Structure 1
């Protein structure tokens, strides 16, 4: 893709841009400076990307003190009304000064609220799988109908934290600061998943979060949990599911099958049709009607490709030995 069409995440994911921002040996410094000079309209976007990568501030034009004083005098001459000498009692002077301080404080808060950098949101449509590279090099795969929110202010300060709605698989890059490992935290409404460097899948749907750990170690902090105060430690192969109300459910699974969606496949192992219907509705935006409720308890073991919805439905019908028909976004299983 041409740099002229880069979005924020494209700058962050460009190795040559990251090398330039981090002043690495051999970085294409002159090339990036020349491009930025030719595209001044991109300066704000480049600045935001640079701050997310390393808290870098691009150089500003140099103004001498004399030029600044002259400009200030010209501005005063244009704005100043005819001079009037006003003598104010000391008490009144203090009241005005206090009022001005309050206005300045309120104005500062308002300015910060309006002009502070907005979080970056990566989103996918129904049935889409998207790869995202975070500023620290962490690789994230987003499943369909999902959102990943990154607070660039926190990242610029060295806080590796994201918020997830939907499903994502994380391959977290290990990072140290002053010899101390820097944690990486994924927040959902139900849990906070804290890691140092590992691979895991997080799925948050319908007020329920499921975490599957493939490698490394995860510390799980449960939210809205009045009974358990000690974080839950997960080992590779562990699956934990939590809805914020009942005790978390934990079991050992074949972790790799929970990342199959990254390769546009679904892998089922004694999976009830009811769970498959949830996937069709939540990940692909389909409205599913099952003619016989007893079918929802039927289980299947097998794989199904997910590139095309009709192909997925055909595979599911063959595995479950059922029929399907589709009218627009509505699917009937019978």
Structure 2
């Protein structure tokens, strides 16, 4: 079945491709849906409702602490008063005026173990490895994926207890106080990341962390901090899945298999509630799901097969039942084929981006 999309809004937004093909989108329960776009040495924060209402200026602008560092996934406080940046060797909170509010130093994401630094905080070491951070929805904590080097006095013990391979660092998931950056909890991770991203559960309690390790696969963790205890669990036993989305009015969360073989709906404990395999193309060639899918609303999921649809006239965007993941139909657009990824907003609408015209489009189903 074909389902016609209707264009709701259209606005020129340079750099907006990061909204549908990256981690520049940030949404909070009962809060604005934001675009966090790095423009040179600044992080520009846009309230998407204001953008589509005609406001072209960003709602807030934060100076990037390390202009040469263009990686990491950053976050902005719910009230927009400060941003937290995931750097190569630190997590730093910055006010809109550029003041450093606090800094949490950690090991270097650079790939050369034990390589020296010049002492210049603006030095960017080789490699593409990066972490991520996320301000909690109540604004009280910052969750961050970091590298921590063990204290010097612990290294000999580490060498004695296990076969030492030259790696004197470990990745951690840490919880920091948003006011002062003080570490309140940490969880050791069995990962060697190329990158990661966080997903805040709309219940305001749980936080998800997805760690990409390139060809070595994906790790997925959930955790909660109750003010006294960090409780965490993972979904990594025999799985290799990317954490995609969660909706305030839906009990489950979405993942996609590393290579796009299937899309799954899980309960918070990881139990699989439903699964969807993409329909084959007309020539019976298999399709695979892209790394762009999510809850259009509590009843509908939108997913794409852009990468595997070689036919220029092929269907690329699909609507699925949010509870069974049964495919309802393919989307068609009045403007013709849309080859963009999508960013569902959770309110029944979704975004696509036209890179040629630098146009951000907002759609809804007919």
Asked if these proteins are the same fold (TM beyond 0.5), I'd say no
Higher helix share: 1
The higher radius of gyration belongs to: 1
TM-score (norm 1): 0.30
Which structure shows the higher strand fraction? Answer: 2
